[in-house]
Amino acid sequence: MIYKKYRRLLILIFSALLGLLSSFTIPAWSNSLSLHTNAATSPLALAKEGQQRYNAGDLEAAVKLWQSAAEAYQKVGDREGMTKSLIDKSQALQDLGLYPKACNTLLQAFAIKNPDCSQTQIDQLYKTLAQQRDSLSLTQAIGLHSLGDVLRRQGLLPKSEEVLQLSLLSIAQSPQKSAVLLSLGNTERTQGNQIRDRWDYEEVTDIIDRKSVSDALAPYQEAINHYIAAAKVTSAPAITKIQAQLNHFQLLLETQKWWDDQTNRRITSWSRFGESKLIQRAKDFVSQLKSQLNQDVQALQNQITPNLTALTPSRAAIYAQINYAESLMQSGQINNVEPLLKNALQQARTLQDGRAETYVIGYLGKLYSQQGQLSQATKLTRQALLLAQEQNINGDAREITYLWQSQLGSLLRKQGDPKGAIAAYTAAFNTLQSLRSDLNANNQDVQFDFLQEVKPVYLELVDLLLKSNLSDEELNSLIVSNPSINREKAEAKKLPKNRLELARRVIESLQLAELDNFFQDPCSETADVAVQIDSIDSHTAVIYPIVLPDRLEIILSSPGKPLQEAIIPISEQDINQTLDRLYDYLDNVTINNSARNILSTSNPDPRELQENLQTLLPTFERIYSWLIKPFEAQLDSNQINNLVFVLNGRLQRVPIAALYNGQNYLIEKYSVALVPSLQLIDPQRLERKQLKVLAAGVSEQIQVQGEFFAALVNVPEELDQIKQTFPASQKLLNQQFTAKTIEKQLKSNFPVVHLATHGLFSSNPQKNFIVTGDGKSISINELSTLLREPGTTVELLVLSACETATGDERAVLGLAGMAVRSGARSTLATLWPVGDASTAKFMGEFYQNLKKPEAKQVDALRNSQLSLLESLKANPPFPELKNLPPHPYYWSSYVLVGNWQ
């Protein structure tokens, strides 16, 4: 595991970027006098100095001073003073991104003994204070407000909302009411993001088709209401009101952009099928939404602009101006940005706040870049970077540093300096690698910001490396780090450096970063050095497709051979359109002529299925020409039997086994597996002696949280086949299959766990679940915990009847992550639902193949798919399909992710 001594993701900039500004004023202190003011080191003097240091941006010093003040107050028996000092200390810790410490400090303020920020302690504190809600003091209410903010930033959103609501009830008509309403709005907004991101493709399509603007905005209505209420508290400080308006403003802009993107994606799909009525409804929907939002956006802007310039200079005012500038740039209103940022810069320098200054200068550089003033933008970006590095001397400003390193790389590239750009992006990459745990573990409400802020750094660096003609000496000057390796260790191992190897290493690191981000937890065990395929399997090649704006690059790693590349001159837009077309015809539930919809009817039309297949095959053939054809000769000469793919983006939802060369499917020549990263592979062969399976399933119709799941009547046969193949196996059917029985049985150490039940994987880990026989569900996190029990070693996890969320290209991360998180070395699952009769037959074949002493897991999968293919060839479901290859929808959904051995 990789743990950092300090987890210091600075919330201020991500708050600014996301519009999640909180009140940066320190609320617990009033102007009331203390009896203990004589000595220079009196509690009040310490507390006031802490306030001054905090206002100047010296957060570490503020933490120490408030801790000293709390101890001094405790010595003189002033409980109220101690509580206030601890609350203030917690605020500074939050700003440093040290949320567990901030949480413990707040629990200490509420007199919780041995605080550890556990769920039990938080629940008990809430229960106790809720019973005293009518008699809580203002200080206690402020402490609850701070705790609610901490809980949100730790991802505990329902509890954050509860705690903030209690604070609101206790705070009456105090000026602090506005700040609590602002925090409630932020929590509701984050919950709104979760609700929205849990919608699958079909749900979003339904809202667009119904032209329901109210449903489109529903996830954020509570947040909007709280922001409006916060801005209306007459006694509140001006900064708090403006922060609420800014958050509301940016929320509306982001909501409009999200729905524009979603609607355009569907219009593109519907255009393929000539669905003119659907296209018009989509255009009407987005027009109505824009009309409503624009009205509110303009009204907010008219209030924000004059009020922002009238603010008293402070750190909070500076970040509010950065927030507004960012929103204006995103909405194309760049003409109003420069005066705003220059005013903020002057304030930062007056306050001598180095962190704020580097942000303002960096955003000025971003503005000039957007305006085409590249020379001035570069100068400012270098200046911001120098300031950020100075901040690193006394603290840790890496999360600022990487922003300006990557911005500098982009600017140098635009100015025709690829070597300088590579150096800048490499520096940003190394900074991100050192921040690997911090970027993901500390701030669970910025999950998808990864796609806009972090992922591009990796892809830009890869793009530049693959285009470069740097010498070995120049390449060796670039330290591309693995977070597990310190520099001395890297030098000692003399890591190979060449253009393709560096690019491959960066792509591997991107895959790890995506998994970390997906789970918000950097718990992926990685190898110390880049793993070579030679050391794993001499008959396996690894294929890395890398989608870049102007081309598709393929890197091939073969045993005993140098890395090879192929360049396909095709734009990213063309690639995505091809992959979207494949999805539309194969698995899109909102398209009438998709294979999924044709075959889900009680009486499928064979002509429709024939036409569908004849449309799909050329698309599968085109993708084959990209990924396989450039290397066919090398694969044959190297006697390659297995192909392992490291996929990213929309390629992750492609059933690779169904790639077609004009005569045969890929699976007819090669075994196929997917891996998130070679660095995550533990290449041990599955021990066949006395192999036993823990086989659990649900065959009855079942209701879970109000949703009905259909009966899987062939599951008992599926489990019986496993028991017959491996007699030492344990079977759990229906009511026998619960989280507790799984936990109990796993103590007997089953190397294979087979779960035949409904389940779902999506790009939101909280939506990943499997249904149990007692009418409940197990989340991916809960299942991972069960499979990681001491003494448990799961080699293979089989998820039969589960599916990935429709239209969700990140959903395969759920499958990959299931293996990584659970400790299972590999996972077998399906990309779309397969009939349970077909599944039972397929799984029977799979375990018979797995029983063979020399068979690899990937071979067992391939042989089972080939058996299904041959069966479909001999007995096609419809006579019209007799002279065509078997339709991929019947057989290619099964994927093996992880260790293929």
The 10s digit of each residue's pLDDT in 417-456 is 999 999 999 999 988 887 765 544 443 333 335 666 788 8
CA distance 287 to 267: 14
Find out whether 395 and 60 touch, Cβ atoms under 8 Å. yes
The better pLDDT of the pair 447, 342 is held by 342
- CATH assignment of the domain containing 662: 3.30.420
3-state helix, strand, coil in the chain (%, to 5): 60, 10, 30
pLDDT 10s digits, 759-771 = 877 666 666 788 9
Q: Can you list the alpha helix ranges (DSSP code H) found in 211-237? A: 213-217, 221-231
Q: Where are the alpha helices (DSSP H) in 569-605?
A: 572-586, 595-600
In this prediction, residue 332 has a pLDDT band, given cuts at 50, 70 and 90, of: confident
Residue 522 placed within a domain: no
For residue 529, is pLDDT > 90? no
Domain co-membership, 836 together with 775 = yes
Q: Does residue 737 surpass a pLDDT of 80?
A: yes
- Given a cut of 50, is residue 378 above it in pLDDT? yes
Are residue 704 and residue 834 in the same domain, yes or no?
yes
Residues 592 and 548 in one domain: yes
Please tell me the least confidently modeled range out of 33-42, 331-340, 414-423.
Answer: 33-42
Specify the pLDDT at position 71.
Answer: 93
Q: By residue range, what is the domain housing residue 735?
A: 693-855
> What is the percentage of the chain residues whose pLDDT exceeds 90?
54
Indicate if the pLDDT at residue 621 is higher than 80. Answer: yes
- Amino acid 392: pLDDT: 66
User: CA 27 → CA 36, 79, 82, 240, 303, distances in Å?
Assistant: 21, 17, 14, 12, 25
| Residue-level pLDDT at 485 | 35
Q: What is the pLDDT averaged over residues 462-477? A: 85
| Per-residue pLDDT at 479 | 59
Q: Are 635 and 725 members of one domain?
A: no
Query: H or E segment at 798?
Result: strand 796-804
pLDDT of res. 527: 39
Q: Domain end: 836, 855, 874, which one?
A: 855
Mean pLDDT of the region 89-116: 89
Nearest to 848 by CA among 681, 715, 718: 718
CB contact at 8 A, 430 and 480: yes
Higher-scoring residue by pLDDT: 876, 13: 876
Check whether residue 728 and residue 656 sit in a common domain.
Answer: no
Q: What does the pLDDT read at residue 784? A: 78
Give me the amino acid identity at 77.
G
- Name which of 132, 130, 164 is nearest 146 in CA terms: 164
The pLDDT tens digits of the residues spanning 235-250 come to: 999 999 999 999 999 9
Cβ 226 vs Cβ 182: under 8 Å: yes
Q: State the pLDDT confidence band at 644, using cuts at 50, 70 and 90.
A: very high
Which token pair is 41? 């080191």
Q: What is the pLDDT of residues 575-590, one digit of tens each?
A: 999 999 999 999 988 8
698 and 734 together in one domain: yes
Q: Do 621 and 750 fall within a single domain?
A: no
Rounded to whole angstroms, the Cα distance separating 317 from 225 reads 23
pLDDT for 543-575, tens place per residue?
999 999 999 999 999 988 999 999 999 999 999
**Average pLDDT of span 146-161:** 90
Decide if pLDDT at 292 tops 80: yes
130: Cα within 13 Å, side-chain hemisphere = 12
What is the SS3 assignment for 631? helix
pLDDT at residue 33 tops 80: no
Task: Identify the band that residue 753 occupies on the pLDDT scale cut at 50, 70 and 90.
Answer: very high
Res 172: pLDDT: 75
Q: Is residue 452 included in any domain, yes or no? A: no
**Residue 832 shares a structural domain with residue 758:** yes
Residue 332 included in any domain:
no
- Choose among 166, 176, 147, 188: nearest CA to 20: 188
33-59 average pLDDT score = 72
Residue 346: pLDDT band (50, 70, 90) is: very high
Residue 652 has pLDDT above 50, yes or no: yes
pLDDT above 80 for 887: yes
Give one word for 880, left, alpha or beta, with left for phi > 0 and alpha for psi -120 to 50: alpha
Which of 132-141, 508-517, 664-673 ranks highest by mean pLDDT? Answer: 664-673
| DSSP codes of every residue in 500-545 | HHHHHHHHHHHHHHHHHHHHT-------SSPPPGGGT-TTEEEEEE
831 and 716 both lie in a single domain: yes
Domain count, the chain: 2
Residue with tokens 């693995």: 482
3-class DSSP string for 348-403? HHHHCCHHHHHHHHHHHHHHHHHCCCHHHHHHHHHHHHHHHHHHHHHCCCHHHHHH
Answer yes or no: is 128 within a domain.
no
Same-domain status, 650 and 777: no
Res 767: pLDDT:
67
Which one is predicted more confidently, 643 or 501? 643
CA angle 398, 403, 406 (to 5 degrees): 115
Per the model's pLDDT, the better-predicted residue between 33 and 435 turns out to be 435
- 798 found inside a domain: yes
Q: Span 377-384, mean pLDDT?
A: 96
CA distance 798 to 209: 37
Question: Which helix (DSSP H) or strand (DSSP E) does residue 695 occupy?
Answer: strand 693-697
Q: Is the pLDDT of residue 506 over 60?
A: yes
| pLDDT higher than 80, residue 397 | no
Domain-located, residue 676: yes
What DSSP state is assigned to residue 87? H
- Among 50-64, 304-318, 590-604, 653-667, the minimum mean pLDDT is found in 50-64
CATH number at residue 815: 3.40.50.360
Whole-number mean pLDDT of the chain?
84
The answer to whether 867 touches 859, Cβ cutoff 8 Å, is no
Is 568 domain-assigned? yes
The pLDDT value given to residue 533 = 56
Q: Do 741 and 788 belong together in one domain?
A: yes
- Spatial separation of the C-alpha atoms in residues 280 and 473, rounded to whole Å: 58
Question: Does 406 fall in a domain?
Answer: no
Identity (one letter) of the amino acid at 55? Answer: N
Helix, strand or coil, per DSSP, at residue 236 = coil
Same domain flag for 675 and 787: no
